[in-house]
Structure 1
Amino acid sequence: MYGITKKDRKMIDKKIKGQKDFLQSFSMEIGDKQHSMLDSCYSANLNPKKYFAEMNNRVNSIFEYTKDAGLKPVFVTLTAPAKFHRKNKKGKLIIDPSDTAKALSKIWAKFLRLKIFKHMKTDTGHNLIYFRVYEPHKSGVPHMHAMLFLPNEYILKIKKRFYKYFSDFGTNKKAIDFKYTFYNKDDKGNLTGGAIAYIMKYITKTFSNEDSDTTDDAVYWYIKHRIRRFLSSRTLAPLILYRKIRHDFKNMENDYLYITKKYQIGQIQRLFNDTVFTINRFDPSTEEYDDVILYKKMILDPETPTTDAQEKAFLKYFELKLNRTFGKEYTEMNYNRLMPNYYVNYIEDDLEESQEDILYQIISDKQYDMKYPIYKQAQNISKPMIVTVDGIDAYSFSTIQDKFIPIIKVPSKMKDLQLLNYFRELGNTPVDKLNLHHYGLVKNECITRGLVQGEIVSLNDYNMEFNNV
């Protein structure tokens, strides 16, 4: 079924087992328990229970978010045109299902660029909110289900555009659906659930049964063709942020929605290429708002000696990478030659500079044949020294000019909360230490965003008389 053969099942089972074994070979102690890397994996194929729990949370959070916004759920189905269903003489699909899924995604993206959605954004203040899933026909050709969230007055307008647009795409009208009333029934015929239950019925089909050792062909289909199970609009906070800080909000009823709202108003921030996440919280002891670090990426210190356990872990990691790349027998025969070069090629893309220092030292100190040179050595990159005066003006030390130079804060680049706090700090600054033109620029930006009331004043009108501002 779904175009899956015995050969596909055997190959995929072997691949998944190898990936699981690889992740389970790395473990760490947290408290009194041992946790493998597989426990922390969010892959739908390797850890479906964890992935499904997170996805279920995302679905519920989107529903709560749209309910607060007064939007209504609409369920749509889109089937690929006839040309994507054609087969050759051997009964195989001429167009690969992965290409069909890409074609559906492409036409869906074009549909979302229609002017009616731009008008809706002007009226509601946000882009279209949706999530969608792919499901295979028995032939293996994918079709798409999506849940849209629309204002009442736009439902019929978009329905008309939907049928017109996808009929022109070549899809039979009977093969597309636009549904905005939901009547789900249980085994006894009683009405149950609603829009959430309706869409979850389709989503759960994409996962293997945890209580069974067998895997459904539909699951093999997703893996073989590398088709994503679940996609959504960028409505909620990014997953990279949520996964790192969710434990700080685990006692909240809807943690994802709470994090999203804090992120949208700028209270939660992503800093330094997502190596630091902070939240702006009120400190009752000082009666001020302070930035508290929720997550900071752990980077190994090159000046700290590595332990035997660290060395073994690093070397085992690279040995496994070599085995997966070249094969175990070839790796054992050519280990001394492969290890240094493979190490160099790998760290250039995947490791932090400080980790390179440690690994370079480990590799150099071991018994490997170093006639194959290490082509890249870690460089010591000095970070600029930054100081703040009176909590307002920040200066960075320039090694070229051998002096501190002021760091100019750009109001237009700040988040709302950060900008408002900065404006208040400027308001409490003595006039003789205040740059009035900069103050005017910050105030105008606050007025433009609706953070403070007032009229925008030309910067030319700002002078040294603070009372005239």
Structure 2
Amino acid sequence: MENYGLSKYQIKSAINKVNFNKEFMLNNGVHIDDKIVPFADFVANSYTNADRYIAELQHRAWSVYEYAKEKCLSNVFITLTLPSHWHPKKKFKKRLITNKKFSGRKYIATINKIKFLNCHVTQRIPLVEPLLDFTNTIDKYNPRNASKELSKMLKELFNERSYRSIDKDDRCYFRVTEPHKDGTPHVHMSLFVPADKVQFIVNSVNRLFPAPLSKIETEVKSPVKYLMKYVLKTLDDLREDTSKITNLSLWYLYHGISRFYTSRTFVALEVYRKLNGMYTLRDLTKSYNSEDVNVYIDTTTQKISKIDNQYGTIYTQKPVNWSQKLDDSYRISTRIKFKIITKIKKEKYTFINAKVIQNIPFLIPILDFESGIDKNTVIQLDSGFESIYKDKIQKPIDVIIDGEEFILYHHQLKRLDENQKLSDILIKSKKQPYQMNDLHLYEYYQNLDIETCDLKHYAVTKNVLIDRRIIDEPKINLALYQDDFFKFESEVF
């Protein structure tokens, strides 16, 4: 079995990483309808749910090919490899031998009768201390950095006038990174461009990366099948034995190198994955460009918060009702309505208009309240969301004692009379505002009594209505209303 440049320690480390991830994914999960669903059911990679991972790769490749076929683009198949000084081994009579030109090898340099490891002189002047360079180390020429070097080579090609002169809608590609037997990566890429631009691309590749650094084919009959041959070659067949992981897969896992890339022809892959196959990549891109599908990004976390189409919301980020866990030394300062809120997680307090003068680990921070509205105002730290995750409602259990019927519910034994219904005993579940449809939500909001209901719940309900554009008013800032003392600025009582 080929080791692809991996040492015994690296192989063992990669296997331990895989086993740890598998154990965590299988032994941890979420509680849904009296069942524990493991995290492994939601993950798709080369060793967990590999069939779903391969299906996604094929869908991405075929989407690019169908897009190119629709645009009548021609294919240029390019293979790029790195110069000799990136390869620790070379072939000689069908076997691998040590490459003396490899820049990452260990060597001893003697400078002024002093021996240095992996050092060379960049400048030598008589009677002047020589300038030494220690950057030429073993770690510099590892496979991960070699993969980055290949990306730089592709960037040189993409910066060429022959490529930049093509309209963005008339060029696309997909590529796969694959290792040589010595562990040095190389790239196979299917590039799709207009037929009249093919020769210009070929000339640019030959000029930038002359043979043997590059190889070009322009008459590939089936580009997807030709490239997927290289992709599938890097994946293990885990249908019968999920523990049968080869050193080839461990090479990708240990060095953190991605197998497959495509051009930015379609919407972000993160958006496609959020919708769980509701759209194909091409259909989702067309709907996004025509504004039939809208994606909303949280400006604070830079994550997708909501996706909707012409029929309504099709994805929404799950709200969180607990405070974010941060390091002791981490502080957040935000300006809200000319009031500075400083959160010090170590003390679990929020101080209004307080400035941290000195914050030393294991010591109480020194605060300045001179710019504050009230020096004695201290608010207990609270979440920005209302508590929506309730305890799971237990199911009632029928109990018969001496011929009499009872209901065991919430650890209490209650007698069920003849004229009494079971619904009178059970605690009815209540939908939260974000779970209601528009009509139900608006009726629920109209029936809220602001004098008796929780003000924070009232604000959350109204914000949901504002988000759905049912009410045309500015949103209520929940951070200012963590105590009933505060009133809503958008309300007039």
Same fold (TM > 0.5)? yes
Contact 2:305 2:316 in 1 (8 A): yes
Counterpart of 2:293 (choices 268, 271, 286) is 268
* 1:386/1:394 contact within 8 Å kept: no
Question: What residue in structure 1 maps to residue 237 of structure 2?
Answer: 209
**Percent of counterpart pairs with the same letter?**
24
Deviation at 1:372, TM superposition (A): 11
Matched, 1:137 2:180: yes
Residue 381 of structure 2 is matched in structure 1 by: 377
| Aligned partner (choices 145, 153, 156) of residue 99 of structure 1 | 145
- Aligned to 1:180, which of 201, 214, 218? 218
- Report the CA distance shift for 1:133/1:346 in structure 2 as closer, same or farther (over 3 A): farther
Q: Which runs of 5+ in 2 are unaligned?
A: 88-101, 108-137, 299-303, 332-344, 350-361, 365-378, 386-458, 481-487
- Any unmatched runs of 5+ in structure 1? 168-172, 184-193, 250-254, 282-291, 303-339, 350-359, 365-370, 405-469
Q: How far apart, in 1, do the equivalents of 2:277 and 2:329 lie?
A: 30
TM-score of the superposition, structure 1-length normalised? Answer: 0.58
Are 1:161 and 2:178 counterparts?
no
- Counterpart position of 1:82: 84
1:296 to 304, 309, 316: 316
Q: Tell me the equivalent position of 2:158.
A: 112
TM-superposition CA deviations, 1:291-343 (whole Å, max 9, x none): x10011121457xxxxxxxxxxxxxxxxxxxxxxxxxxxxxxxxxxxxx9x95
Structure with larger Rg: 2
What per-residue deviation string (whole Å, max 9, x for no partner) do you get for residues 384-403 of structure 1?
96988xx9995426899957
Which position in structure 1 is the counterpart of 2:228?
200
- Structure 1 counterpart of 2:352: none
Moved more, 111-120 or 28-37: 28-37
Q: Which amino acid aligns with 2:231?
A: I
Residues 142-153 of structure 1 correspond to what in structure 2 (within 5 A)? Answer: 142-153=185-196
Matches for 1:244-259 after TM superposition, within 5 Å:
244-249=274-279, 255-259=280-284
- Tell me how far 1:182 sits from its aligned partner: 2.2
Pick the aligned partner of 1:345 from 321, 327, 333: 327
CA contact (8 A) 1:84 1:95 kept: yes
Partner AA of 2:232 in structure 1: T
SS class of match (2:295): strand
Query: Equivalent residue of 1:73, what SS?
Result: strand
Other-structure match for 1:218:
248
Q: CA RMSD in A?
A: 3.9
Aligned equivalents of 1:74 and 1:33: distance in 2? 51
Secondary structure of 1:131's aligned partner: strand
Change (3 A) 1:197 1:345: same
Q: Counterpart of 2:367? A: none
Question: Counterparts of 1:456-467 in structure 2 under 5 Å?
Answer: none
Q: Aligned in 2, Cα 1:387/1:297: closer, same or farther, shift over 3 Å? A: closer
Question: By how many angstroms is 1:159 displaced?
Answer: 0.6
Separation of aligned partners in 1, 2:489 and 2:33: 48
Letter in 2 for 1:203: V
Q: Are the aligned partners of 1:132 and 1:144 in contact in 2 as well (CA < 8 Å)?
A: yes
Q: When you count strand as a share of all residues, which structure comes out higher?
A: 2
Alpha-carbon separation, structure 1, partners of 2:71 and 2:297: 32
Q: Distance in 2 between matches of 1:293 and 1:346?
A: 38
Taking structure 2 as the reference length, what is the TM-score of the superposition? 0.55
Moved more, 135-144 or 25-34: 25-34
CA distance in 2, matches of 1:31, 1:196: 42
Contact 1:133 1:231 in 2 (8 A): yes
Rate the CA distance shift 1:31–1:100 in 2: closer, same or farther, 3 A. Answer: same
**Aligned-residue offset at 1:262:** 0.8
CA 3–376 in structure 1, closer or farther in 2 if over 3 Å, else same: farther
Which of 253, 259, 262 matches 1:232? 262
Counterpart CA distance in 2 for 1:95 and 1:139 is: 12
Counterpart CA distance in 1 for 2:328 and 2:74 is 49
Aligned-partner Cα distance in 2 for 1:67–1:386: 44
Count of aligned pairs:
312
Q: Which residue pairs with 1:51 in the alignment?
A: 53
Tell me: CA distance 1:235–1:176, structure 2 relative to 1, closer, same or farther (3 Å). Answer: same
SS in 2 for 1:74: strand
Q: Hey, what's the Cα distance between the residues in 1 that align with 2:39 and 2:156? A: 39
Contact 2:177 2:259 in 1 (8 A): yes
8 Å contact from structure 2 (residues 321, 384) kept in 1: no
Any idea what the Cα deviations from partners look like across 1:355-399, whole Å, max 9, x if unmatched? xxxxx9xx99xxxxxx999x99345487896988xx999542689
Please state how far the C-alpha of 1:247 moved relative to its aligned partner: 4.3
Structure 2 SS opposite 1:120: coil
Contact 1:16 / 1:46 at 8 angstroms: preserved in 2?
no
Q: How much does 1:127 deviate?
A: 6.4
1:35, distance to aligned residue in structure 2 (A): 2.8
| Aligned mates of 2:220, 2:187 — CA distance in 1 | 18
Q: Would the alpha carbon gap of residues 345 and 398 (structure 1) be closer, same or farther in structure 2, given more than 3 Å must change?
A: closer
Q: Secondary structure at the match of 1:135?
A: strand
